[in-house]
Amino acid sequence: MAGSTPATVKFQDVADAWSILPQVSEDVHALSFESKGEALEVKWSDEHLGIYPWKWLRPHKQNSKAHATVSPATADPKYSPPPVRKDICLNFSDYERVSDSLVRGDHVGRVSSPTMGGAYCVPVTPEATQGLIERIAFIRHTHYGGFWDFTADLTFKDTAYTNEFLGAHTDNTYFTDPARLQLFHLLSHTEGQGGGSLLVDGFEAANILRAENPSYFEALIKYRHPWHTSGNEDTCIQPSAQAPVFSVHPDLNQVYQIRWNNYDRAPKVDWSAAEQQDWYSAARRYNEILQNREIWTQLEPGTALIFDNWRMMHGRSQFTGKRRMCGGYVNNDDFISRLRLLKYGREAVLNNLGNIPTGHDPENPNSIV
């Protein structure tokens, strides 16, 4: 559903219905409604026809008595993330040097939240790639498995397993605890072309949004969403509670996690029409900022890309031919434990247990979140 809106849209499930909405014009409106058996047909002013099954519409009707608002923590207006790094492909000459740097902490620090991420030269094998990520921490097992080695064969009903264009997004919005680090390694691409990779700093884009329009920034904090993944018959994962696009740290008073994935949002009933308008106006502008800040690179076999999934968004251009990718996830807690110990040492970390900073304190290990 990442391409242009078709003339007729049949909403078979939640993902279909909401994945196209960010593309809809602000002034689109319904021209007519007609009940057709088990569905409602709506003709829209942009000339497309929407077909909405009654069994989908009834449980998702707007609940005007419910409110989506929470008491948002306002991010510190003086806080700003470090400047965007342009040197995302900082390659080492050989795998052993990469491994040594991981042990010293150079690598782990480079992919932490204040950075864009890093690209590293590794042998073109899944075994070497798995060894690289395991130098940081344990690989997180999910419904996709542990370490991935896949092609665009739709083994999982997920957009990553297609050859379609993928806009900037974060992964795992549907987990209560999204994975923190993500690694991709293109093992091969034959008989085709395309498949460029994009990265964009979600924190920087959030800061730009806040400077331009504080109310838009607040809307992406205030309104929480139901996220989900349900492509496969045996899977329907949702977080334990709805979550906003921007999560603000209660002690550091700054955005520390972003959930942004148009493919993963489920219908939301607990807000008014005015609140919906607030959120969509904010989301539309945030998306524009992201698109204007994208950095594109072409991955090649032997280059592994690792980045912070709570901050960095990634995407992919459409491609032809056969691509084989491998990679994996690392949990937040495992990664942050590794990073704090490497940066400060065990004694300093233990001495600061429970010492919660109220702002960024470079001497306090707990400033790393």
Q: What's the start-to-end Cα distance of the chain, in Å?
A: 34
pTM for the predicted model, two decimal places: 0.77
Task: Give the chain's domains with CATH numbers.
Answer: 6-58 (no CATH), 86-344 (3.60.130.10)
Q: Residue 347 has which token pair?
A: 């004694």
Q: Check residue 109 and give its pLDDT.
A: 46
Q: Check residue 144 and give its pLDDT.
A: 86
**Rounded distance between C-alpha atoms, residue 243 and residue 261, angstroms:** 12
- For the segment 71-81, what is each residue's pLDDT rounded down to a tens digit? 333 444 433 33
**Rounded distance between C-alpha atoms, residue 109 and residue 344, angstroms:** 12
Mean pLDDT of the residues in the chain: 78
Q: Check residue 77 and give its pLDDT.
A: 40
**Rounded distance between C-alpha atoms, residue 212 and residue 209, angstroms:** 5
Q: Which percentage of the chain shows pLDDT scores above 70?
A: 74
On whether the CB atoms of residues 11 and 17 are closer than 8 A, the answer is: yes
E strands within the chain?
A: 8-10, 30-36, 39-44, 49-53, 118-121, 139-140, 148-151, 166-169, 181-190, 197-201, 246-248, 255-258, 295-297, 303-308, 312-316, 322-330
Total count of residues recorded for the chain: 369
On whether the CB atoms of residues 335 and 137 are closer than 8 A, the answer is: yes
Residue 157 has pLDDT above 80, yes or no: no
Greatest alpha-carbon pair distance for the chain in Å reads 69
Residue 221, SS3 per DSSP: helix
Q: Residue 108 has which token pair?
A: 């782990």
Q: Check residue 256 and give its pLDDT.
A: 93
Mean per-residue pLDDT, 80-88: 37
Task: List residues bridging with 201 in a β-sheet.
Answer: 312
Query: Look-up: residue for tokens 């948002």?
Result: 72
How many degrees, rounded to 5, is the angle at CA 46 between CA 42 and CA 47?
60
Residue 137 has pLDDT above 70, yes or no: yes
Residue 274 has pLDDT above 60, yes or no: yes
Residues 6+ positions from 102 with CB-CB distance below 8 Å = 108, 132, 135, 136
* Residue 37 CB coordination number (10 Å): 8
Residue 185 has pLDDT above 60, yes or no: yes
Q: Check residue 290 and give its pLDDT.
A: 95
Position 18: which residue type?
Answer: W
- For the segment 39-49, what is each residue's pLDDT rounded down to a tens digit? 888 888 888 88
pLDDT band at residue 222 under the 50/70/90 scheme? very high
